[in-house]
Chains A and B, each alone.
Chain A
Amino acid sequence: MALSKLSSPSSLSTNILKPLTNSFLLHRPISTDTTPLTIETSVPFTSHQCEAPSRSVETTPKELLSFFRQMATMRRMEIAADSLYKAKLVRGFCHLYDGQEAVAIGMEAGITKKDSIITAYRDHCTFLGRGGTLLEVFSELMGRKDGCSHGKGGSMHFYKKDSGFYGGHGIVGAQIPLGCGLAFAQKYSKDETVTFALYGDGAANQGQLFEALNIAALWDLPAILVCENNHYGMGTAEWRAAKSPSYYKRGDYVPGLKVDGMDALAVKQACKFAKEHALKNGPMILEMDTYRYHGHSMSDPGSTYRTRDEISGVRQERDPIERIRKLILAHDLATEKELKDIEKEVRKEVDDAIAKAKESPMPEPSELFTNVYVKGYGVEVFGADRKEVRSALP
Chain B
Amino acid sequence: MVLLLAVNMVTRAGFSLKQLKMWGIIRQKVAAGGGSPVARIRPVVSNLRNYSSAVKQMMVREALNSALDEEMSADPKVFLMGEEVGEYQGAYKISKGLLEKYGPERVLDTPITEAGFTGIGVGAAYYGLKPVVEFMTFNFSMQAIDHIINSAAKSNYMSSGQISVPIVFRGPNGAAAGVGAQHSHCYAAWYASVPGLKVLSPYSSEDARGLLKAAIRDPDPVVFLENELLYGESFPVSAEVLDSSFCLPIGKAKIEREGKDVTITAFSKIVGLSLKAAEILAKEGISAEVINLRSIRPLDRSTINASVRKTNRLVTVEEGFPQHGVGAEICASVIEESFSYLDAPVERIAGADVPMPYAANLERMAVPQVEDIVRAAKRACYRSVPMAAAA
Contacts and interface: CB of A to CB of B under 8 A. Distances in A.
Interface of A: 116, 118, 149-153, 157, 159-161, 166-171, 174, 176-186, 188-189, 207-208, 210-212, 214-215, 218-219, 370-375, 377, 379-381, 386-387
> What 9 pairs between A and B have smallest CB-CB spacing?
A181-B123, A177-B119, A211-B116, A185-B127, A211-B113, A178-B123, A181-B120, A374-B219, A379-B298
B151 interface: yes
Contacts of B147: 174, 177-178
A374 B164 contact: yes
A160 B126 CA distance: 12
A147 to B, nearest CB: 8
Interface stretch (B24-32, B86-94, B155-163, B360-368): B155-163
Given A149-B160, A183-B123, A208-B116, 5 more contacts: A177-B115, A177-B116, A179-B123, A215-B111, A374-B220
Given A177-B116, A215-B116, A380-B301, A153 B126 contact: no
Interface string B123-163: 11111110000000000000000110011000111111111
A184 B115 contact: no
Residue from A170, A185, A186, A212 with most neighbouring chain B CB atoms (10 Å):
A185
A211 B156 contact: no
B160 A375 contact: no
Contacts of B303: none
Contacts of B270: none
Contacts, number: 159
B117 A211 contact: yes
Contacts of B218: 375
A151 B121 CA distance: 27
B153 to A, nearest CB: 9
A379 B251 contact: yes
B129 A188 contact: yes
A188 B106 CA distance: 9
Interface residues of B, number: 48
B232 interface: no
B151 A169 contact: yes
Contacts of A152: 157-158, 160
A105 B193 CA distance: 41
Contact of A215 (B105, B117, B159, B301): B117
A178 B301 contact: no
A182 B164 contact: no
B150 A174 contact: yes
B250 interface: yes
Given A178-B123, A379-B251, A211 B159 contact: no
B158 A149 contact: yes
Contacts of A167: 155, 158-159, 163
Interface of B: 79, 105, 108, 110-111, 113, 115-129, 146-147, 150-151, 155-164, 166, 195-196, 198, 218-220, 249-251, 298, 301, 336
B251 A157 contact: no
Contact of A159 (B150, B159, B219): B159
B157 A371 contact: yes
A214 to B, nearest CB: 6
Given A211-B115, A214-B113, A374-B219, A184 B159 contact: no
A371 B156 contact: yes
A166 B120 contact: no
23 contacts: A116-B127, A152-B158, A161-B126, A166-B163, A167-B158, A169-B151, A170-B150, A178-B119, A181-B125, A182-B126, A184-B124, A186-B127, A207-B115, A208-B116, A214-B113, A215-B110, A215-B116, A219-B108, A371-B160, A372-B196, A373-B196, A377-B250, A380-B298
B196 A161 contact: no
Contact of A212 (B116, B166, B196): B116
B116 A371 contact: no
Nearest to A151: B160
Given A374-B219, A380-B301, A215 B120 contact: yes
B124 A157 contact: no
A188 B80 CA distance: 13
Contacts of B110: 215
Contacts of B113: 211, 214-215
Contacts of A179: 123
Residue from A151, A184, A375, A386 with most neighbouring chain B CB atoms (10 Å):
A184
Nearest to A181: B123
Contacts of B129: 184-185, 188-189
Contact of A375 (B105, B115, B220, B336): B220
Residue from A174, A178, A370 with most neighbouring chain B CB atoms (10 Å):
A178
